[in-house]
Amino acid sequence: VAEGLPRTVHHELGVPTIDRRVVDFANFDHGATAPALISVTETVEKVQRTYGSVHRGAGYTSRQTTAWFEQARREIADFVGARADDQVVITRNTTDALRLLAHALPRRTQVFAWESAHHAALLPWSSARTTRLPVPHSASDALELLREALAASTARHKIVVITGACNVTGEVWPVRELVEVATEFEARTVLDAAQLAPHHRVDIADWGVDWVAFSGHKTYAPYGAGALVGRTDWLDAATPYLPAGGATRAVGARGVQWQTGPARHEGGTPNAVGAIALAAACSALTRHRERIEAHERVLHQRLREGLEAIPGVRLVHALGPERPNVGVVSFTIDGIDCSLVSQVLADEHGIAVRDGRFCAHLLCDAIVGGRGCAVRASIGLATQPHHVERLIAGVRRLVEHGPASAYDHTDAGWVA
């Protein structure tokens, strides 16, 4: 996206190269962690020069940091299209945000989750109260499975865990339609937008989603901050997620009065720098959505076609190749171990992909043949068109000629 852009846009969406010596590293691992935008790292530097304790001090730096921190909440709320009375809780990441919500569910809430969900969205709920839906084979299958399960439930409180975009296939789930089904049965919804938010607009008010969770480190901000955004009622009724300073209004000999609002669940000194950096990334992405989507769409299409044309390469799908996609292509190669593919791409071609089961073991078991492992190439702002050509050529070379002879793959280790 950086090529041929006006300077201001280039500045906002630019990503740094990892090292001066590695000038053209091909990054296809945005699905795991995306590099922080240069504009975000500049924000971090600015805040680091000034920061003081949030909500706890009267001095200039405390006031300034508190103002930036609260402004960050508003920018994060806008990024996901929150309603005016939604709250933004700053968390460590998506895992933490979903765990917080699991902690806040009213007693005996029935949870509905597809087995295709990332473990962060599948595992935080009480297993006795979770209805697991099988991995769907199409969007309409997903809707049907949900409808059947909700129709059979007599629980008073229900919540459906929806994946925005799948971390293995990149397929975008039919969020609006799933929320419609949930609403029909008076179930609430939580959207795992860890993979969706970096690539597509999220609009929880428009889609009718009750809560959304996402991570800064996948959204072009540094590690350590994420968010849970959504309805206040269940969060304010729950005991604090981190009972500690900041979450209390008053502590007496006989009891504690807890805060309401985000502070209730943000015990301890918050990661203000992380939240401000996350908000800076959100704002940059919002300003350039169409450009980002166009960039990723073109690269994704070329990558998919290029890999599909190589004999023995099989692309991995669940909902189907016709679904919109956030720029992920996962594949296997007949007769070649996935870890070997990613090693060869890294060591011989300077390409970063990921191989494995992607914290979605049940999904991989259902849709990937063999040992359930695949290679994932995930596109983002650091990926350029010539990187896509390099990846396609690298895979083709591996299929046709095997690994370069300088390497010895016969041992358990990888010897250069």
Q: Which residues are at the interface with ligand PMP (CB under 6 A)?
A: 93-95, 118, 120-121, 163, 167, 192, 194-195, 215, 217, 359
Terminal Cα distance for the chain, rounded: 34
To ligand PMP, the closest distance from the beta carbon of 383 in angstroms equals 17
Longest dimension (CA), the chain: 75
Closer by beta carbon to ligand PMP, 39 or else 94: 94
To ligand PMP, the closest distance from the beta carbon of 117 in angstroms equals 7
Residues 6+ apart with CB under 8 A from 376: 28, 29, 31, 168, 328, 329, 330, 353, 354, 355, 358
Closer by beta carbon to ligand PMP, 270 or else 394: 270
H-type alpha helices, 194-260 = 204-207, 233-237
Residue 107 one-letter amino acid: R
Distance CA 306, CA 105 (A): 46
CA 251-61-236 angle, to 5 degrees, is: 35
Which tokens hold the place of 327?
Answer: 């720029």
To ligand PMP, the closest distance from the beta carbon of 209 in angstroms equals 15
To ligand PMP, the closest distance from the beta carbon of 199 in angstroms equals 12
List residues with catalytic annotation: 359
To ligand PMP, the closest distance from the beta carbon of 259 in angstroms equals 25
Which tokens hold the place of 262?
Answer: 């985000």
Closer by beta carbon to ligand PMP, 47 or else 359: 359
Check if the beta carbon of residue 289 is closer than 8 Å to that of residue 277: no
Closer by beta carbon to ligand PMP, 175 or else 398: 175
Closer by beta carbon to ligand PMP, 31 or else 306: 31
Which tokens hold the place of 233?
Answer: 């009622």
